[in-house]
Amino acid sequence: MKKNFAGSDMNMTPAVNTQPELSRRRFLQAAAVTSVSSVVPTAAVVLETPASHAQEIHPKANASVRALPNPIIPNFQGEYGSSSMPGFQVPKRPMGSTGLQVSILGMGGFHLGAALSQDVVNDMVAKALDHGINFFDNAWEYQGGAGEERLGIALKGKRNQAILVTGVCTYGRKKDVAMRMLEDSLTRLQTDHVDVWQVHDVIYYNDPELAYQVDGVLEALTAAKQQGKVRFVGFTGHKNPSIHLDMLDRGFHFDTVQMPINPFDPSFRSFERSVLPVAVQKSMAVFSIKSMSGSGESIVRGALTPTEALSYAMSVPGVSTTVSGMNSVEVLDQNLEILRDFKPLAEEQMAALREHGRQFNDGRYELYKTTVKYESDLGRAQHGFPSSMELPA
Amino acid sequence: METKGSIPLRRFGKTDVEISALGSGGHHIGVTKDEKTAVELVHTALDGGVTFYDCCWEYCRGKAEDWLGKGLKGRRDKAFLMTKVCTHGRDGTLATDMLEQSLRRLQTDHIDLWQIHGVGFANDPDLFIRPGGAAEALVKAKKEGKVRFVGFTGHKDPEVHLAMLNTGFPFDAVQMPLNPFDGTFHQFSFEQKVLPVLKQRGIAALGMKPICGRAEPVKKGVFTAQEMLRYAMSLPVTTTITGFSDMDILKQNLEVAQGFTPLSGTEMQALRDRARRYAADGRFEPYKVSLQFDNPEARMAHDFPIDMQQIETRELVAETQNTGWPFPS
């Protein structure tokens, strides 16, 4: 491991974290600032746009050191906002049996939607594309639609370079709801088709049964494919491999599947051990998520470094891309630095990380399996669960 | 004593000890409005034929044990007293220290049933049985005569219960949530997965959460509290533990329990059928699918996030505040 971003000064785990979903971003931003500064000592951590105000990325930033206004040149090579990154291309892999080639790292939509501004998203998407990152995930429900809207704006004129993925958030509801969601998604994403349309968050034990019901969401997947509005279909989830297997076993032909992959998973309700082989056998494209536990829970506790976390997920055979949430150019840069030096881990390195993960096999770093923390309010409402305000985890 | 209208007594596992088919839940004793009411509740329950009293080292930072001890003072011999130890995977020496605190608070020289509290995380069985783990404390306490029987409790995952049983430790009792939703939530059904094993091994089965902990199905009109309590008490269990923090609820429970006759198989199936459509995603069993019923003591021992809205967390934080009250209120 070349870099360890989880240095001692980052040991900032709050005893009581009332905003857990924010902690990872704060950490990663702080980590990125540290790492970027060490690489480019004069780098400013202030973004400025010609049209608007300067926005501080990090409160500790030295505001006196300002970058030149960012001209936001599409696919501009070189400087973006405050930081630089030498040109290199992220490797690609075949995306299952789709015939597409996908970058080994994908950009997560939720955190893109949570970035400071549209300008930041534009910068990030342009920079990602320039480095060969071509996978952009999203979901109908992210930020009430703003997640898709922002990505749509950022991809304007570059749509054909991207593998555009979004999720349909029916949570047991029927085809008509799904088709309306698809129209919303296409409008927000400013496109006439998405490349991959996935049933989002199949995480309740009766979701497979509900998906397969007559006039259910799976019929919408088929119809949308026939209408040419989506090219490939799949589903996502993070709760229990038994739910994923239930979805697969009932027989629908999915092109893609999304699942948590990290060194903790193999010793606790393991997707890698039980779902991945089935998906590979079916020649499906596998998208890995939760490489850093969802909100960096394993990172802030020092159980993994970001480099270890991403390297592990990107090295698991059968994974097409690893979807990582990034909410700023700094976090993208941190990931790009990891990618620049990335070599797939050897089997003994993988085994060592799994062995390290085994000691936490109570699910403490996989809260998406053991708690309701990662269940959205929309999904909870459909399943009669209390909201995240009432029941945080 | 065994007259028509009293609460039926049932055999505690393979022993010749008998306990009442309705048990008093300890947490509710601690959240009663005041100490005087708590003591009156215990007296009324004893007079009504409840002989089984549950409690726990961590309930209300000790207040529940303290108040139950006051309620049982002078009547200790009428009660089968249970309390729990909250190691949550930590060392056996900690368990022994907690036992001494429980004995002092409960004002007794022995506990009838001492149980490992809240076994629910996947590595809890390994941590329990390891050298230096809580299993050693159970053996020691039994040998010293400070506890008569030992067991464990948990509300999370039947597989974890089975792993505890597979450690080979000689448990006398096992406690678990039992209600119509549990009965039909297949992957997480204690009734389907754990109860038969206990019966086969002659281990006393103790039911809890008959109305799902906070009576959500009652509040939402799916069942009445009486229907749910009757369901739980009709299963092959030694007792069903339910909490009451006011006299009306206690009397309602006593009405069901006194002269209780189990429901028929058909009646049980009808209740399960009504529960089925809500059971499949766990919406009425948050203790299985969320952290809602996991105390900060358990979460911290396992490095899980605590929740500042949770009353137990607020009590934990308030415990050392100088309010003039002996326990956080």
- Given a contact cutoff of 8 angstroms between Cβ atoms, the answer to whether A178 and A229 are in contact is no
Which region holds residue B268: left if phi is over 0, alpha if psi is between -120 and 50, else beta? Answer: alpha
Instruction: Give the DSSP H or E segment for B18.
Output: strand B18-20
Alpha helices in A55-107 (DSSP H): none
- Residue B167 clears pLDDT 70, i.e. is over it: yes
Which residues make Cβ contacts (< 8 Å) with residue B261, sequence separation at least 6? none
Q: In Å, how far are A340, A391, B216, B284 from A93, measured between CA atoms? A: 16, 40, 49, 44
Q: In chain A, which residue's Cα lies nearest the Cα of B122?
A: A362
Region A88-102 average pLDDT:
96
How far apart CA A163 and CA A165 sit, in angstroms, is 6
Interface of B with A in 99-138 (CB under 8 A): 121-124
Rounded to the nearest integer, the mean pLDDT of chain B is 96
- Domain assignment present for residue A9? The answer is no
Task: Find the range with the poorest average confidence among A44-53, A180-189, A291-300, B246-255.
Answer: A44-53
- Residue A236 clears pLDDT 80, i.e. is over it: yes
Which pLDDT score, from 0 to 100, does residue B7 have?
98
- Chain B positions touching A17 (Cβ under 8 A) are 305
Region B100-112 average pLDDT:
98
- Domain assignment present for residue A343? The answer is yes
- Residue A59 clears pLDDT 70, i.e. is over it: no
How far apart CA A154 and CA A49 sit, in angstroms, is 15
- Domain assignment present for residue A311? The answer is yes
Please judge whether A383 and B309 are an interchain contact, meaning their C-beta atoms are less than 8 angstroms apart: no
Which pLDDT score, from 0 to 100, does residue B326 have?
83
pLDDT band at B113 (very low <50, low <70, confident <90, very high): very high
* B8 three-class SS: coil
Pick from A203, A246, A364, A370 the residue to mutate for testing the B interface (most B CBs within 10 Å): A370
Interface of B with A in 294-313 (CB under 8 A): 302-309
Identity of the residue in A209, A268, A385 whose CB atom sits nearest the CB atom of B283? A385
Rounded percentage of chain A residues whose pLDDT exceeds 70: 78
Residue identified by tokens 């939530």 is: B185
pTM of the entire predicted model: 0.85
Q: What is the DSSP string of A215-275?
A: TBHHHHHHHHHHTTSEEEEEE---S-HHHHHHHHHT----SEEEEE-STTGGGSS-HHHHT
Q: Alpha-carbon torsion B243, A370, A331, A306, what sign? A: positive
- Residue A18 clears pLDDT 50, i.e. is over it: no
Q: Alpha-carbon torsion B57, B60, B65, B68, what sign? A: negative
How far apart CA A207 and CA A170 sit, in angstroms, is 10
Token pair of A40 as six digits? 């480019």
Which pLDDT score, from 0 to 100, does residue B2 have?
42
Region A242-268 average pLDDT:
98
Judged by a CB distance cut-off of 8 A, whether residue A79 touches chain B is no
Please judge whether A370 and B124 are an interchain contact, meaning their C-beta atoms are less than 8 angstroms apart: no
Q: Alpha-carbon torsion A53, A63, A333, A85, what sign? A: positive
Task: Find the range with the poorest average confidence among A320-324, B131-135, B307-311.
Answer: B307-311
- Residue A37 clears pLDDT 80, i.e. is over it: no
Rounded percentage of chain B residues whose pLDDT exceeds 90: 93
- Residue A38 clears pLDDT 80, i.e. is over it: no
Identity of the residue in B292, B302, B308 whose CB atom sits nearest the CB atom of A364? B302
Report DSSP state, residue B119. Answer: -
Which pLDDT score, from 0 to 100, does residue A354 have?
97
Token pair of A126 as six digits? 């342009």
User: HSE on the CB side for B316, CA within 13 Å?
Assistant: 17
**Which has the closest alpha carbon to B160: B197, B205, B125?**
B125
ipTM: 0.89
- Domain assignment present for residue A279? The answer is yes
Q: Count CB pairs under 8 A between chains A and B.
A: 67
Angle between helices A329-340 and A118-130 (to 10 degrees): 20
Which pLDDT score, from 0 to 100, does residue A10 have?
34
Angle between helices B35-47 and B63-72 (to 10 degrees): 50
Which pLDDT score, from 0 to 100, does residue A257 have?
98
Please judge whether A361 and B122 are an interchain contact, meaning their C-beta atoms are less than 8 angstroms apart: yes
- Given a contact cutoff of 8 angstroms between Cβ atoms, the answer to whether A123 and A158 are in contact is no
Rounded to the nearest integer, the mean pLDDT of chain A is 84
Identity of the residue in B187, B283, B304 whose CB atom sits nearest the CB atom of A383? B283
pLDDT, tens digit (0-9, with 9 covering 90-100), for A298-322: 999 999 999 999 999 999 999 999 9
Domains and CATH numbers, chain B: 9-285 (3.20.20.100)
pLDDT band at A85 (very low <50, low <70, confident <90, very high): low
Which structural domain, as residue segments, surrounds residue A156? Answer: 92-382
What single-letter amino acid sits at B76? R
Residue identified by tokens 């004893």 is: B46
Identity of the residue in A240, A361, A391 whose CB atom sits nearest the CB atom of B286? A391
Which pLDDT score, from 0 to 100, does residue B93 have?
98
Q: Give the domain CATH number at A127.
A: 3.20.20.100
Please judge whether B303 and A301 are an interchain contact, meaning their C-beta atoms are less than 8 angstroms apart: yes
pLDDT band at B211 (very low <50, low <70, confident <90, very high): very high
- Domain assignment present for residue A124? The answer is yes
Q: What is the DSSP string of A311-356?
A: HHHHHSTTEEEEEEE--SHHHHHHHHHHHHT--PPPHHHHHHHHHH
**Which has the closest alpha carbon to A30: A331, A357, A303, A312?**
A331
Identity of the residue in B121, B289, B290 whose CB atom sits nearest the CB atom of A363? B121
Judged by a CB distance cut-off of 8 A, whether residue A384 touches chain B is yes
- Residue A72 clears pLDDT 50, i.e. is over it: no
Which pLDDT score, from 0 to 100, does residue A286 have?
98
Q: For chain A, what is the domain count?
A: 1
Interface of A with B in 319-378 (CB under 8 A): 360-364, 367, 370-373
pLDDT band at A49 (very low <50, low <70, confident <90, very high): very low
Which residues sit opposite B152 in a β-bridge? B116, B174
How far apart CA B29 and CA B38 sit, in angstroms, is 6
Identity of the highest mean pLDDT range in A43-52, A290-299, B314-323: A290-299
Q: In Å, how far are A379, B147, B228, B263, B270 from B278, measured between CA atoms? A: 15, 40, 14, 22, 14
Angle between helices B92-106 and B134-143 (to 10 degrees): 50
- Residue A247 clears pLDDT 70, i.e. is over it: yes
Identity of the residue in B123, B185, B187 whose CB atom sits nearest the CB atom of A362? B123
Which pLDDT score, from 0 to 100, does residue A81 have?
53
Judged by a CB distance cut-off of 8 A, whether residue A318 touches chain B is no
Please judge whether A383 and B187 are an interchain contact, meaning their C-beta atoms are less than 8 angstroms apart: no
Judged by a CB distance cut-off of 8 A, whether residue B278 touches chain A is yes
- Residue A25 clears pLDDT 80, i.e. is over it: no
The phi and psi torsions of A336 (rounded to 5 degrees) equal -65, -40
- Chain A positions touching B307 (Cβ under 8 A) are 392-393
Pick from A173, A205, A267, A362 the residue to mutate for testing the B interface (most B CBs within 10 Å): A362
Pick from A23, A205, A297 the residue to mutate for testing the B interface (most B CBs within 10 Å): A205
Q: In chain A, which residue's Cα lies nearest the Cα of B187?
A: A205
- Residue A73 clears pLDDT 80, i.e. is over it: no
Region B38-44 average pLDDT:
98
Which pLDDT score, from 0 to 100, does residue A87 have?
77
Judged by a CB distance cut-off of 8 A, whether residue A383 touches chain B is yes
Which pLDDT score, from 0 to 100, does residue B105 have?
97
Q: In chain A, which residue's Cα lies nearest the Cα of B159?
A: A269
Report DSSP state, residue B12. Answer: -
Which pLDDT score, from 0 to 100, does residue B325 have?
83
* A165 three-class SS: strand
Token pair of A21 as six digits? 């979903």
Q: In chain B, which residue's Cα lies nearest the Cα of A14?
A: B305
